[in-house]
């Protein structure tokens, strides 16, 4: 309980002033508001500051910014478009936590804001970008003259979301728009339609709000007061954040904010930041100027078993974010690995390993076989992964029967003789067995002879009349092979296995079809092995692509890749292909 003088827990006051932060802390610790243990630990850190003799508690800056947001800022997106930006208690407490604590700076010779660094982790659709955008706009108007603000993210599109949120709030308010202007470069003070020669809101004020992405060069040297980096979970390292943190270091009262959900990038920038943050919360590290505001679950189990716990990672649940939406997402997550990864990381801030197995053994297992004679004189869809590294290569065709959604696949694998020596003892035994069964074609020397891949397709046509309608191949490693195939009359289409957009949709359909037992891969053990070695890599747009399972970097996924690539060609040409199948 909060008992130390001069706090008044009944009225949430500090020295006669109502504090939203104290109100929030009290209600959280009393269980009236449900939050996770990591936020409780941070609230305990903040509580100590009220009685710290080296800290002065001053509500003026926080009150000014809260009042600015609630009276000047308006929402711009449905269903709240045009309505005042009325802050929830958790948002007011967050703003207060940033601004009310002051520490005396001997170098500067005055009291300055204690908090300079903020990590704000909250599940998606809880208003994090609008909130930070509103704080940035408030700082622009309520802060000192010449305040320069930079919005950043991993890509320009995401950085633009925050910038546009700021600009839209500015445009929604007549009083703010009257004294500012915006163009493609940023937001500036001074309005040509209502010119002022002097004062904070005139052209004399050189403050700006601009945007930048991690991919944009020349970030060093920018002298800014506020830096806000959105979706830091997508960053692989600190190469794009350090220049921004250094750029604010020249200011007396800088403010650097990182806002994000959890992600799926292993050992990325956010992982390191969260490791440090949790060390601070546990008392292992001293970071008195870092506000660590984490809305996290205490376990994955409670997500599935206790609906009341969802608010721990979703403080806006019921007001900003709909409970029915979360229920729907969780239902889908029960039957889809990709959806499970996305929902747990994005909606509940539970870190997901993006290199864990994509499919279970049971989902992959299918002991059905096929008789190639049943597909004599049929059309097919092809897929080829020739492997840049020169080891295992894969080729396959997908066949279908009229009136059926089931896919039947015939495959062949290829490997250079020299590569067999580099395999582990376990894999050597596997490959020796597969070669004896004629599942793998071995090329002499150090490289695959891709003409053998061509010969395999030619043999399908000559021996069985199986004609590939189109064949997908990875554009990075098959230029000369594609020319050879073209000479034989095959229509080959480039598909990049590194492209999220190209691989995501077919990967989902392969997953669904495997679970529905709609893929007969002729009980091929190499296909099974490749599928078991395959993990899903997911980005913030919920797009996915195949990668190797973490810890299985020496294993192969070529068979899974060709299946997904063939599905890409099938999906792009479904109508035409099915009409050929039905003939």
Task: For residue range 44-66, list pLDDT tens digits in order.
Answer: 999 999 999 999 999 999 999 99
- Minimum mean pLDDT among 23-27, 77-81, 115-119, 307-311: which range? 77-81
As a whole number of angstroms, the distance between CA 181 and CA 234 comes to 32
Among 79-88, 184-193, 512-521, top mean pLDDT goes to: 512-521
Q: In terms of domains, do 280 and 139 share one?
A: yes
Instruction: Using DSSP, state whether 542 is helix, strand or coil.
Output: coil
557 in a structural domain? yes
DSSP state of 413: E
Pairing between strand 117-121 and 440-443?
Answer: unpaired
What DSSP string describes 257-268? Answer: EEEE-----TT-
CATH number for the domain spanning 368: value is 3.30.420.240
Q: In terms of domains, do 328 and 366 share one?
A: no
Phi, psi of 270 (to 5 degrees): -65, -35
Q: In terms of domains, do 420 and 372 share one?
A: yes
Query: Who's near 131: CB < 8 A, 6+ residues apart?
Result: 87, 91, 94
User: Which is higher by pLDDT, 81 or 455?
Assistant: 455
49 in a structural domain? yes
CB 218 within 8 A of CB 141: no
CB 136 within 8 A of CB 149: yes
How many structural domains does the chain have?
Answer: 3
Query: For 67-139, where are the E strands, in sequence order?
Result: 101-105, 110-113, 117-121
Q: In terms of domains, do 148 and 274 share one?
A: yes
565 in a structural domain? yes
Q: In terms of domains, do 332 and 370 share one?
A: no
As a whole number of angstroms, the distance between CA 69 and CA 83 comes to 12
Q: In terms of domains, do 216 and 325 share one?
A: no
Q: pLDDT band at residue 364, thresholds of 50, 70 and 90?
A: very high
pLDDT value for 5: 38
Instruction: Using DSSP, state whether 302 is helix, strand or coil.
Output: helix
As a whole number of angstroms, the distance between CA 40 and CA 240 comes to 31
Residue range of the domain that includes 12:
7-296
Q: pLDDT band at residue 468, thresholds of 50, 70 and 90?
A: very high
C-beta atoms surrounding 79 within 10 Å: 6
Q: In terms of domains, do 90 and 194 share one?
A: yes
CB 22 within 8 A of CB 9: yes
Q: In terms of domains, do 199 and 261 share one?
A: yes
CA of 160: how far to CAs of 130, 151, 152, in Å? 12, 8, 8
Tokens 């078991």 — which residue?
532
Q: In terms of domains, do 309 and 369 share one?
A: no
Candidates 547, 572, 543, 542; CA nearest to 560 is 547
Q: In terms of domains, do 288 and 304 share one?
A: no
- For the segment 241-259, what is each residue's pLDDT rounded down to a tens digit? 888 888 888 899 999 999 9
Pairing between strand 148-153 and 117-121?
Answer: unpaired
CB 55 within 8 A of CB 101: yes
Q: Which of 352, 370, 396 corresponds to the end of one domain? A: 352
Pairing between strand 492-494 and 467-473?
Answer: parallel
Average pLDDT, the chain: 91
Q: In terms of domains, do 180 and 217 share one?
A: yes
Q: In terms of domains, do 565 and 468 share one?
A: yes
pLDDT value for 11: 66
Given a cut of 70, whether residue 1 has pLDDT beyond it is no
pLDDT value for 155: 76
How many degrees, rounded to 5, is the angle at CA 105 between CA 100 and CA 110? 75
pLDDT value for 391: 83
- For the segment 193-242, what is each residue's pLDDT rounded down to a tens digit? 877 778 888 899 999 999 987 655 544 446 799 999 998 988 888 888 88
2 in a structural domain? no
CB 549 within 8 A of CB 555: yes
Tokens 């040409």 — which residue?
573
pLDDT value for 281: 97
1 in a structural domain? no
User: Which is higher by pLDDT, 90 or 391?
Assistant: 90
- Minimum mean pLDDT among 157-161, 499-503, 519-523: which range? 157-161
122 in a structural domain? yes
As a whole number of angstroms, the distance between CA 139 and CA 288 comes to 22
CB 21 within 8 A of CB 97: yes
Percent of the chain with pLDDT over 70: 95
506 in a structural domain? yes
Instruction: Using DSSP, state whether 168 is helix, strand or coil.
Output: helix
Report the predicted TM-score, pTM, of the whole model to 2 decimal places.
0.79
DSSP state of 575: H
Query: Who's near 427: CB < 8 A, 6+ residues apart?
Result: 554, 555
Candidates 130, 148, 12, 23; CA nearest to 77 is 130
Which residues make beta-bridge pairs with 181?
Answer: 188
Candidates 244, 267, 138; CA nearest to 550 is 267
As a whole number of angstroms, the distance between CA 441 and CA 416 comes to 9
Share of the chain residues as helix, strand and coil, in percent rounded to the nearest 5: 40, 20, 40
């Amino acid at each position: 309980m909060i008992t130390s003088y001069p706090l008044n827990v009944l009225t949430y006051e500090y020295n006669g002033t109502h504090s939203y932060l104290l109100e929030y802390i009290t209600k959280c610790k009393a269980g009236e508001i449900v939050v996770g243990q990591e936020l409780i630990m941070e609230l305990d850190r903040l509580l100590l500051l009220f009685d710290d003799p080296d800290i002065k508690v001053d509500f003026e800056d926080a009150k000014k910014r809260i009042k600015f947001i609630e009276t000047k800022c308006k929402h711009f997106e449905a269903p709240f478009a045009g309505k005042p930006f009325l802050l929830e208690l958790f948002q007011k407490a967050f703003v207060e936590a940033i601004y009310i604590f002051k520490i005396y700076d001997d170098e500067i010779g005055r009291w300055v804001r204690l908090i300079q660094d903020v990590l704000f982790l909250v599940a998606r659709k809880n208003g994090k970008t609008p909130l930070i955008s509103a704080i940035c706009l408030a700082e622009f108007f309520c802060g000192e003259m010449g305040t320069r603000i930079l919005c950043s993210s991993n890509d320009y599109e995401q950085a633009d979301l925050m910038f546009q949120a700021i600009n839209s709030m500015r445009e929604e308010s007549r009083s703010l728009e009257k004294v500012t202007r915006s163009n493609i470069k940023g937001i500036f003070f001074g309005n040509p339609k209502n010119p002022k020669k002097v004062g904070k809101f005139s052209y004399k004020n050189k403050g700006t709000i601009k945007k930048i992405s991690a991919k944009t060069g020349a970030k060093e040297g920018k002298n800014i007061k506020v830096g806000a980096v959105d979706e830091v979970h997508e960053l692989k390292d600190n190469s794009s954040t350090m220049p921004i943190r250094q750029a604010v270091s020249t200011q007396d009262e800088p403010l650097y904010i990182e806002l994000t959900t959890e992600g799926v990038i292993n050992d990325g920038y956010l992982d390191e930041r969260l490791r440090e943050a949790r060390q601070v919360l546990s008392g292992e590290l001293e970071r008195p100027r870092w506000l660590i505001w984490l809305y996290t679950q205490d376990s994955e189990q409670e997500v599935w078993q206790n609906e009341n716990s969802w608010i721990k990672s979703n403080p806006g649940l019921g007001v900003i974010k709909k409970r029915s939406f979360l229920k729907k997402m969780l239902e889908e997550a029960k039957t889809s690995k990709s959806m499970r990864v996305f929902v747990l990381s994005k909606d509940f801030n539970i870190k997901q390993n993006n290199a864990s197995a994509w499919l279970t053994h049971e989902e992959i297992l299918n002991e059905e076989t096929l008789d190639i004679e049943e597909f004599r004189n049929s059309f097919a869809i092809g897929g080829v992964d020739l492997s840049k590294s020169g080891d295992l290569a894969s080729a396959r065709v997908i066949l279908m029967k009229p009136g059926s959604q089931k896919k039947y696949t015939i495959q062949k694998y290829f490997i250079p003789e020299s590569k067999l020596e580099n395999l582990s003892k376990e894999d050597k035994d596997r490959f020796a067995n597969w070669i004896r069964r004629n599942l793998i074609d071995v090329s002499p020397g150090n490289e695959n002879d891709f003409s053998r891949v061509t010969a395999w397709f030619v043999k399908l046509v000559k021996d069985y009349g199986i004609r590939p309608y189109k064949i997908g191949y990875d554009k990075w490693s098959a230029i000369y092979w594609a020319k050879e195939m073209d000479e034989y009359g095959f229509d080959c289409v480039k598909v990049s296995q590194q492209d999220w957009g190209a691989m995501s949709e077919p990967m989902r359909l392969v997953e669904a079809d495997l679970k529905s037992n709609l893929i007969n891969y002729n009980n091929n053990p190499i296909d099974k092995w490749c599928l078991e070695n395959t993990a899903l890599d997911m980005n913030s747009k919920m797009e996915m692509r195949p990668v190797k399972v973490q810890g299985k970097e020496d294993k192969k996924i070529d068979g899974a890749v060709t299946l997904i690539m063939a599905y890409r060609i099938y999906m792009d040409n479904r109508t035409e292909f099915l009409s050929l199948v039905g003939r």
